[in-house]
Structure 1
Amino acid sequence: MAQAKKRNTSKKAPIKMLVIITLALVIVMGALLFVANMGGGTTAVGQVPPVEDVPTTGNEDAPVSIVEFGDYKCPACANWDSEIVPQLYEDYVDSGDASLSFFNYIGFGEESLLASLSARSIYEEAPDQFWNYHHALMQHAGQQGSQVTTDLLLDLSEEHAPAVDQDELEEAILNQEAMTRIEEDHSVIEEFDVQSTPTIMVNDQVIDDPFDYDAIQSAIDEELAATSS
């Protein structure tokens, strides 16, 4: 019996060593990835998203284009809108140094689509009131457990985009009149291989962590410095 026990122990030794080696490799690979990502917090894609006919606020001729690929039903997008966007307005958009554009990402099914249809329809009818509606919709629709309905969208429109006729907006939503524009957004999303929301770009740089304001600020400042030199 003692010999059998000894043989079993000897068999376990190589297995244990293999586990240790595997764990060590995982740790090393993780460390290498961490070091690789410690750069400027951005990934260059070599192309700036086209923002013609896309909701844009700020100076459209600004040297820096900030783009959000977002979903109105995305809780993280709601947080980004409330935490990061006000800083961008204060530091760059209001001064004319940067513009901010929004592409619709349909990631949560019918409710995402309803919200996007309403927002795009409002942009077509009253572009000067779009952003008020956009921010309000983001905060309502993006909350956990919220439900997007046509009635909610009409109520928000009445409060934040009063220039839009409610009956016409309801018809536009039901008939999906803005679907072509949303499909155009989707084509750009596919072209830039956007996989999650919010995805943020500063000119041709994708921000690795959209909530890292220092990384966003650094990317913007670098672009501004490049244009002024």
Structure 2
Amino acid sequence: MTPSVPSSSRRARRRTAAVGVLVAAAVTAAFALTLDDSAHRDDTPDPSAVVTGSAAPPPADDSLLALARRDPSDALAVGRADAPVVMIEYSDFQCPFCRQFAQNTEPELLRSYVDRGVLRIEWRNFPVFGEESEQAALAGWAAGQQGRFWEFHDVAYGEPRERNAGEFSEEKLTGMAREAGITDIGRFQADMASDKARSAVREDQEEGFRLGVTSTPAFLINGRPVLGAQPVATFTEAVETAAKAAKAAGR
């Protein structure tokens, strides 16, 4: 019997799948770069410290643009849903370098790009430091259910906190929620303990793991990986480059 010949559509699907595997492998390799572990794990980092990879990240890949959710109702995002550039941020509330980014870099990105409609920032919970990181992630999600995620984010990163020493206990997290302006504390606590919260955090984590994220903070800017608490100029260059590319592509 003569072997059947795959249809053109089937061959196309196979080519598409193969490309997808190659793209995923490339991004995994980028995010799996060995970071300076001593810098990343230091509980009291030098504020000027920068976490960098051992090689430059690859250029943007349009195939990864689909990771941007662009959901107008996403409480863990800021900026226009149709902004030409989306920065996905994988972070842990106990990570000192995430705090460094939140205090020193993010405000400039908000002023220069988010407020102008150029950039959208989508937060992904990526707790890596144990139970208190998990609890903080659940609390952030719960704050978002009352429209106060970014206020909670600012409170949580507002001061240095010793890792896994009770700084993110349920009692402390409730206090942070009050400070962030959350009025229905009963709902906040119920949301934090819900299966829906755990599912949302797990979804974010699994997305990061699939990409090869191993430490925080890690970012995708229209498909271009940026690793660690890089200087403002690194993010500015990445956003400007992505915005120009989006304009050229008619997005």
Partner of 2:219: 200
1:149 maps onto 2:166 in alignment? no
Asked if 2 retains the 8 angstrom alpha-carbon contact of 1:76 and 1:198, the reply is yes
User: Against the structure 1 CA distance between its residues 72 and 170, is the aligned structure 2 distance closer, same or farther, given a 3 Å change threshold?
Assistant: same
TM-score (norm 2): 0.68
Structure of greater Rg: 1
- Give the Cα–Cα distance (whole angstroms) in 2 for the partners of residues 178 and 63 of structure 1: 29
Partner of 2:236: 217
How far residue 208 of structure 1 moved from its aligned partner, in angstroms, is: 4.1
Range moving further from structure 2, 53-62 or 188-197: 53-62
- Give the Cα–Cα distance (whole angstroms) in 2 for the partners of residues 155 and 114 of structure 1: 14
Which residue of 59, 64, 69 corresponds with 1:47? 64
* Deviation string, structure 1 residues 76-105 (Cα, Å, up to 9, x no partner): 111110011011011101111101111001
* Deviation string, structure 1 residues 146-169 (Cα, Å, up to 9, x no partner): 621111111111121334x11222
Runs of 4+ in 1 over 6 A off after TM superposition: none
Structure 2 spans left out of the alignment, 5+ residues: 1-53
How far residue 226 of structure 1 moved from its aligned partner, in angstroms, is: 2.0
Amino acid at match of 2:151: N
Sequence identity of aligned pairs in percent?
22
Asked if 1 retains the 8 angstrom alpha-carbon contact of 2:138 and 2:198, the reply is yes
Which residue of 166, 171, 192 corresponds with 2:185? 166
How far residue 219 of structure 1 moved from its aligned partner, in angstroms, is: 1.4
How far residue 209 of structure 1 moved from its aligned partner, in angstroms, is: 4.7
Amino acid at match of 1:90: R
What secondary structure is seen at the aligned counterpart in 2 of 1:73? coil
Amino acid at match of 1:153: L
What secondary structure is seen at the aligned counterpart in 2 of 1:154? helix
What secondary structure is seen at the aligned counterpart in 2 of 1:86? helix
- Give the Cα–Cα distance (whole angstroms) in 2 for the partners of residues 122 and 190 of structure 1: 24
Asked if 1 retains the 8 angstrom alpha-carbon contact of 2:143 and 2:182, the reply is no
How far residue 123 of structure 1 moved from its aligned partner, in angstroms, is: 1.0
